[in-house]
Amino acid sequence: MSPQPHAAKFQFVTGALVVLALAALLAATMLVVGGRAPSTSNEDRWAAFHPTSDGLDSGPREIAAHVAGQYRFPTGEQLVVVTGGPLELQNLPMKIAIRRSAADGGDISLRDGPGVLYRLCGLGPKCALDRGKPAPERHLLLRREALELALYSFHDLAKVQDVVVFMPPAKGKEASQALHFRRGDVAGQLARPLRATLPSPAPTPATVAASPDAKFVQSLTVANLFKFSFTQSQDASVFLVLDPLPKES
């Protein structure tokens, strides 16, 4: 029986498709081996959450809402409310003045690049925490939360060079402590996934001391913890003055 008239053409087309498929498979394999194949897996991204805006108004608000929900008391109640926005006070732009102690040279350095400001409020009087008891572990956890706010800000808000976080005060006191982070302080942490620096879920005050990141958080945040105050300059802007905390004896 003679071959069908289109059989030879069909065989040729089939063979060509097989060759193209093999070539595509080889190219994909080379990309994977070379480490250049794209991936949409959450495990390969810096973090699963990203704010929808990188503006200094809405971006920090989204970051604040996300991070605040991760930090809770052992009972499950949220630790603090977090608000975020541009580095301003009553709509006046703020410049950061870091005043070193005499023992460290006594210099004053100014930071006036784009920055964001977060406030941690425990919903008690003057934003003190109205749940739980004051303890070093709780303060460490709040500093870990501040660090996470800073990491998200530097990673997802490209313009940001400074992040300031106002800490909640002790009961009956005025807020006086602030954490200040510069982009360069956490460059290494921005180069690897967030989970490698701050594993999730976030610890509680009862577990934070045993968290694998506790020593790192303690070291970095203590070095960036200041007493803050304000003073207005002649050009109507505001100086956020950061003074070192007294060293414990």
How far apart CA 91 and CA 5 sit, in angstroms, is 82
How far apart CA 44 and CA 36 sit, in angstroms, is 12
Using DSSP, state whether 162 is helix, strand or coil.
Answer: strand
- Please check the confidence at residue 7 and state whether its pLDDT lies above 70: no
pLDDT (0 to 100) of residue 236: 81
- DSSP sequence for 183-229: GGGGHHHHTS-HHHHS-SS---TTTGGGSTTHHHHHHHHHHTEEEEE
CA dist list (Å): 93 to 53, 118, 239: 21, 15, 9
Q: Record the tokens describing residue 239, joined without a space.
A: 């100086």
- Please check the confidence at residue 230 and state whether its pLDDT lies above 90: yes
pLDDT band for 44, please (50, 70, 90 cuts).
Answer: low
- DSSP sequence for 113-136: SSEEEEEEE-BSGGG-B-SS---H
pLDDT (0 to 100) of residue 10: 42
% residues pLDDT > 90 (the chain):
74
Q: Give 3's contacts (C-beta < 8 A, 6+ positions apart).
A: none
Using DSSP, state whether 243 is helix, strand or coil.
Answer: strand
- Please check the confidence at residue 238 and state whether its pLDDT lies above 90: yes
Nearest to 180 by CA among 84, 122, 111: 111
List pLDDT tens digits, range 61-117: 999 999 999 999 999 999 999 999 999 998 899 999 999 999 899 999 999 889 999
pLDDT band for 248, please (50, 70, 90 cuts).
Answer: low
Ranges 2-11, 25-34, 58-67, 82-91: which has the least confidence: 25-34
How far apart CA 121 and CA 128 sit, in angstroms, is 6
Distance of CA 171 to the CA centre of its chain: 27
What's the mean pLDDT in 19-37?
42
List pLDDT tens digits, range 169-215: 999 999 999 999 999 999 999 999 999 999 999 999 999 999 999 99
Nearest to 214 by CA among 192, 199, 193, 194: 199
CA dist list (Å): 6 to 11, 15, 139, 156: 9, 14, 80, 59
pTM beyond 0.95: the answer is no
Q: Give 187's contacts (C-beta < 8 A, 6+ positions apart).
A: none
How far apart CA 162 and CA 186 sit, in angstroms, is 11
